[in-house]
Chains A and B, each alone.
Chain A
Amino acid sequence: MPDLPDEQSPDTELARKTSELERKTAELQVLQRVSSQINSTLDLDEIYDIALRTMDDLFEFHHAVILLLEPDGETLRVVASRGYENQAIGGRVKVGTGVIGVVAQRRKMLHVSNLGQQRAYAAAQRRQMIKAGRSDELTDTAPVPGLQNAESQIAIPLLIRNELIGVFSIESPLQRTFSEHRRGLFLIVANQIASAINNARLYEERRRAAEALRAANTSLEARVAERTAALEKELRVAEALLSDARSRVDGPLLGESAAVTGLRQAVAVQAARKEPLLLVGPPGAGKEAVAHAVHGASGRRGAFIFVSCPELHTQIRQLSVETPTAARSAPQLLTHKLELASGGTLFLDAVHELPTGLQTALQELSANDLDVRVIASTTRDLAHDSLGRPDTGLRFFAEHLSVPALVDRREDLPILVDHFIRRQARQLGKVVESVSSESMERLQRYTWPGNIRELRSVLERAVLVSRSTVIEVDEELIDEGLAIGSYRLTTRLGSGGMGEVWLGKHRLLARPAAIKLIRPDVQPGVAHEQLVRRFQREAQVTAGLRSPHTVQLYDFGVNETGSFYYVMELLEGLDLHQIVTRFGPQPSERVAWLLRQACRSLAEAHEHSLVHRDIKPANLFVTSLGLEYDYLKVLDFGIVKDQPGHETTMLTAQGVVQGTPAFMAPELVSGERVDGRADLYSLACSAYWALTGRPLFQATTPGQMLLHHVQTTPLPPSQVSELPVPAAFEAVLMTCLEKDPARRPSTALELEQQLARVAFKQPWTEDRARVWWETHVPTGLHDYRSR
């Protein structure tokens, strides 16, 4: 559209007005079109194109450029151009430089119609200055995008709410004039461009933000879903733990038996006290529940902090391996737990596993002002431990409370059974009424070595598989819970410091057996793997003994709780300790009869370089073999020791005096070299006990007893016994009791032969033995060995 001259046309007034009207109409159409088009798109390239085409339509300017302000606020960048050979896209203009730069800086439109002349004028001035030696006042010329020979240029800032977003510029190589009217048109178009660009950029920003938000949402949703799943899982675990904790808390204290009634009373008494409390009881009996009950009844508002001492021990051991200095910071672990339990209760489970250093630290820490009730649990029989292995840690506990085994509170079974089946049914959404009478009888007969924990486990499985409201507890369910190797435990025969002895039955052969469980904690401080290795060697050696007077070993292993077990032939009868305890001192001929059998067992063991080390009346078991009565079996090679050069066996800890003080050879006490003659000394001590009903020495402490073995000459048994002791027999025994092993019989076989040569007025015979058993144990040899 040509720019009409403003001067008066020679044409008629009508023609002039008509022409002007047409021009304005055309301009309005262009403006309407550009307004419509530019607002119908949010595509920046399209907006640029519309803007540039409009300049062409309105002013026939073919050289136009759009620049946008860069984020740095100091540079403009060409984003669209029209009419240039080099499209100049990407070209940059510094704010404040050239027409475009100055427009951006001043935010005002600029129209220059004599660019060439002004440039020439400036160039001339520049040359003059150079000629006058003022070059140092000049700066470099700054090339700007656009026509190099432009004569006229109009540039307008693109503003949004007075904020600069860019510059729109058109150029011409001709000197052309923009009237005020046309500058106004240009301004209108530029404002529309600015608005459209801004809208498009906002839209783009919003679109990107929306995309980012969508991506974030997707990620967030995934994380939320993941977290929700994790929380749900944690919740389920927490519910299970809570339920389990509740059952552990409730169950053990339910019942009306004297044992549990006494336990509840003791809990009430203990709740009012502050002294460290030690709970003693078999595994699974509910010691933790009792601790909870004491804590709950105490009114202490602090937390109940549970600490597993075996885990703590392992943790410290691992730390020590990784960082040798970490062991020194082990007490800090305990301090941390104590602080957590401030105002509450610290419960140390299996406290006998607590490392010695921490036991001392515990005592020191507890002596501070921390308001913490320390309660601990142990499965140890303290009476036994006090003889063989003084445990300074356990002395810290001023208060002791026994938690009874389930077998000792059988009358509580119906209440406990009802409690556990209903609790499990609630969890599973089942309805139960009771267990069948047959099942209840089965449960009543069973001995529950795993105590309440085992009962709960069996009942939970029974409810789980039950399809009736009346729960059946199959024998298999109980079997499964008590399986050890190929054997099923049925009755606990007894328990002692090192473990328990159970009556078991082979699952397939139905052969009865005695199963001895030895807890791994009998040797604190010794790695479990090391114990297992020793145990295996010990068991293999024992299994290799063939003497009929050595108890026969069927099987051995380690069960899932970490306890070692031996499966031995089941012996019916009494050990020498029980015989003397029940029936008094025994005649010399019977003692000699039994000793000779023990010698045959030991002779074979000694030939295999094995020393029993714990020969005592309780390990000399008197049984029947077929029709033979008073058949002696040597038991418990549990602390058997190899001769020098062999590995120390399982139950002999390094540096710990092993054996039973009353029957211990002097060389064992003093730690000298030990051989089979130590067993002969112990055997003579056992004979002394059998003959007199008294130990070789009288002592009030184990230490005194040991000292006597080393220093004191024993009284001959004939001076102590109520029964006559033949001199020849006594002489043999006294040589066995020599302090110096060299003065004893050199072998068990030699001793056996010496005993064989002793003449008794009334020799012991099988008939006498049979009569004795029929007289004293008329119900048969069903008094199983127990320790």
Chain B
Amino acid sequence: MSAVTMRLPAEIRPVLDNGIPAVMVTCSADGKPNVTVISQVYHVDDTHVALSFQFFSKTIRNVRENPRAYVCVADVAGHAQWNLELEFQRSETEGPVFDAMEMQIEAIASATGMSGIFKLRAADIYHVLSVERLTYPEWTGS
């Protein structure tokens, strides 16, 4: 079963905050896909999320070439999965979203001897194009 909306529903908020590792899919300009696991999907508002840009990676390059991306977030408690279709809009290096994300990363980095290395370079802001909630009956035992 699935339901598609254009906005982030309220029930997805705890799922994002729980920080269960999410899967992100991007594609290069020449059509080569890339799948990676990301640790954080930051809820900005009903139509935007922010993803951390910490390292120059394949994902970042792809997004800069092709702004479309997919993020799959697992909701263990709800026995569901959320698929977010996103479009890269901009990178923020300051502001409340950047600060909130940077602070969390710095808290981890400072305690692990990674200050200055494990740091947020930018908060990449994505527009939510669609949200799809998938449920799995077998998870519920139904």
Contact = CB atoms under 8 A, between A and B. Distances in A.
Interface in A84-105: 96-99, 101-103
A144 interface: yes
A102 B106 CA distance: 7
Given A110-B103, A112-B104, A118 B115 contact: no
Contact of B110 (A101, A114, A126): A101
Contacts of A118: 19, 39, 104-105, 108
Contact of A113 (B10, B11, B18, B103): B18
A137 B14 contact: no
Contact of B19 (A7, A123, A140, A175): A175
Contact of A142 (B14, B18, B104, B111): B111
B18 A141 contact: no
Contact of A139 (B20, B77, B115): B115
A113 B17 contact: yes
Interface in A127-152: 129, 137-142, 144
A133 to B, nearest CB: 14
B43 to A, nearest CB: 10
B54 to A, nearest CB: 9
Interface in B5-53: 10-11, 13-14, 17-21, 39-40
The 10 closest A-B pairs by CB, nearest first: A114-B19, A98-B111, A139-B113, A99-B107, A7-B11, A102-B107, A122-B112, A118-B108, A177-B14, A97-B110
Contact of B114 (A108, A110, A125): A125
Contacts of A98: 107, 110-111
B129 to A, nearest CB: 23
A117 interface: yes
Contact of B117 (A111, A115, A129): A129
A139 B111 CA distance: 10
A59 to B, nearest CB: 15
Contacts of A113: 17-19
Contacts of A114: 18-20, 39-40
Interface of A: 5-8, 96-99, 101-103, 106, 108, 110-115, 117-119, 121-123, 125-126, 129, 137-142, 144, 175, 177-179
A97 B106 CA distance: 8
B11 A8 contact: yes
Nearest to B40: A114
A139 B116 CA distance: 10
B78 A125 contact: no
A129 B118 CA distance: 11
B134 interface: no
Nearest to A120: B39
Query: Which of A98, A140, A179 lies at the interface centre, i.e. has the most chain B CB atoms within 10 A of its CB?
Result: A98
Contacts of B108: 112, 115, 118-119, 121-122
A102 B14 CA distance: 24
Given A113-B17, A113-B19, A142 B110 contact: yes
Nearest to B77: A5
A110 B107 contact: yes
Contacts of B39: 114, 117-118, 121
Contact of B18 (A102, A129, A139, A175): A175
B109 interface: yes
Contact of B10 (A6, A96, A112, A115): A6
A772 B20 CA distance: 152
Contacts of A117: 19, 21, 39
A7 B110 contact: no
Given A6-B13, A117-B39, A141-B112, 8 more contacts: A101-B110, A112-B104, A114-B20, A117-B19, A118-B104, A119-B111, A122-B108, A126-B112
Contacts of B17: 111, 113, 177-178
B81 to A, nearest CB: 14
A5 B76 CA distance: 12
Contacts of B112: 119, 122-123, 126, 141
Given A7-B11, A114-B20, A121-B39, A106 B113 contact: no
